[in-house]
Homo-oligomer: A and B are copies of this chain.
Amino acid sequence: MTSTAADPLPSWNDGEAKRRIVAFVEKVTKEGSRDFLPPAERIAVFDNDGTLWPENPMPFQAAFAIDELKRCILTEPQLATDPMVRAALAGDFARLLEGEHFDGLMQVLALTHAGMTVDEFRDAVEAWLGSAKHPRYGRPYDELTYQPMQELLRYLREMGFKNFIVSGGGADFMRVWVERVYGIPPERVVGSTAATTFELRDSGPVLTKTLDYLFVNDKKGKPPGIHQFIGRRPTVCCGNSDGDHAMLQYTTIDNPRPSFGLIVHHTDGEREYAYDVETKSTGKLVEALEEALRRGWLVVDMKQDWNVVFRPE
């Protein structure tokens, strides 16, 4: 089970980024190597928004929530008493992103999702993915994953790594499509969650989404989320923003095992979006980028390092 015969990363240009990835994977998977990682320790964590697919012009789940809100408001006009709901309907996205954890956005997500059964929610996500199109690319959102990162997921999987998503996005939102889109099963998704309640109705067992125990899996919440869901320290961590800073530290600093940190730097305004310090959406990248040099994290320059950005149609 080796991918070295063929090029495992054809969408990556030859250069330092690709060389460093392949060198790491080869050294830790070579039996007898001083840096050999036992298969159980091959745990790779990936942020989603901005790392595996874009987070512009807004995180895709926010686009879903706003579309849902427009649908809900027809039957539940009282929702509009919430100032964040009004901000969302008015397209005031900056307002939604204020606060430590994009508090307004979280509020809108919670309001539109609470009270639904998990099956209803899944159906709503599937219906949305089947109809909504990205405003710039005109393609369904789940077709807009980064081809080079898909290749990295596949390469790591073939080399015995378990890939996990560790994202601020909602676990219930991602689990609908991660297996089909990334080959990652639902139980390997660590996301933001709130409690559900269990009832046995005449129609059968039902789980209903609530607003209780909201856990936002972002920033300093990511290492605790990894601990809670995976229970083991990762050895590969890929992110793109300061939201991933803590999990990059957790993965790589003083790890007794060989480890690898990677930051996707959004440098390509032509093919995608260019931002770091200043962003119109989520994905601000300042502190993690500053620390990358010192820690030896690989900073991927999308413009230079990728010969293709999106999955071919």
Please list the residues of chain A having a beta carbon within 8 angstroms of any beta carbon in chain B.
40, 118, 162, 164, 171-172, 175, 179, 185-189, 193, 195-198, 200, 203-205, 207, 213, 215, 220-224, 227-232, 246, 249-250, 253-254
List B contacts of A175 (CB < 8 A). 231-232
Could you tell me the distance in whole angstroms from the C-beta of A289 to the nearest C-beta in chain B?
Answer: 17
Residues of B within 8 A of A213 (CB): 213, 215
User: What is the bound-complex CA distance between A220 and B198, given in angstroms?
Assistant: 6
Report whether A253 and B185 are in contact in the complex, using a CB–CB cutoff of 8 Å. Answer: no
Q: What 8 pairs between A and B have smallest CB-CB spacing? A: A204-B254, A186-B231, A198-B223, A175-B231, A196-B224, A205-B250, A187-B230, A198-B220
A40 touches B179 (CB 8 A): yes
**Contact residues in B for A204 (Cβ distance below 8 Å):** 253-254
Task: Determine the distance from Cα of A254 to Cα of B118 in the docked complex, in whole angstroms.
Answer: 15
Chain B residues, Cβ within 8 Å of A224:
195-198, 207
Chain B residues, CB < 8 A from A222: 198
Copies in the complex: 2
What is the distance, in angstroms, from A40's C-beta to the closest C-beta of chain B?
A: 7
The contact sample of 6 A-B pairs, CB cut-off 8 A, is: A40-B185, A187-B230, A196-B224, A198-B250, A205-B223, A213-B215
Min CB gap A227→B, angstroms = 5
**Inside 8 A of A232's CB, which chain B residues have their CB?**
175, 186-187
Which one of A40, A187, A188, A189 has the greatest number of beta carbons of chain B within 10 Å? A187
A228 touches B193 (CB 8 A): yes
Q: A164-B187, A196-B227, A197-B220 are in contact. List 16 more A-B contacts (CB 8 A).
A: A171-B228, A186-B231, A186-B232, A187-B188, A187-B229, A187-B230, A193-B228, A196-B224, A198-B220, A200-B249, A200-B253, A205-B253, A207-B223, A207-B224, A207-B250, A213-B215
Q: In the complex, how many angstroms separate the beta carbon of A99 from the nearest chain B beta carbon? A: 20
Q: Are A189 and B231 in contact (CB under 8 A)?
A: yes
Report the bound CA distance from A230 to B193 in whole Å: 12
Task: Chain B residues near A231: list those with CB within 8 A.
Answer: 171-172, 175, 186-187, 189
Shortest distance in angstroms between A194's beta carbon and chain B's nearest beta carbon?
A: 9
**Min distance, Cβ A218 to any Cβ of chain B, angstroms:** 12
For residue A220, which residues in chain B have a CB less than 8 angstroms away from its CB? 197-198
How far is it, in angstroms, between the C-alpha of A88 and the C-alpha of B200 when the chains are bound?
36
What residues on B are CB-neighbors of A197 within 8 Å? 220, 224
Q: Which residue of B lies closest to A43 (CB)?
A: B187
What residue in chain B is nearest A213 (Cβ atoms)?
A: B213
Given A205-B253, A253-B200, A254-B205, is A227 in contact with B40 using a C-beta cutoff of 8 Å? no
A297 CB → nearest B CB, Å: 14
Residues of chain B with a CB closer than 8 A to A186's CB: 230-232
Measured between C-beta atoms, what is the minimum distance from A191 to chain B in Å?
9
User: Please, which residue of chain B has its CB at the minimum distance from the CB of A208?
Assistant: B224
The residues of B that contact A195 with a CB separation of less than 8 Å are 224, 228
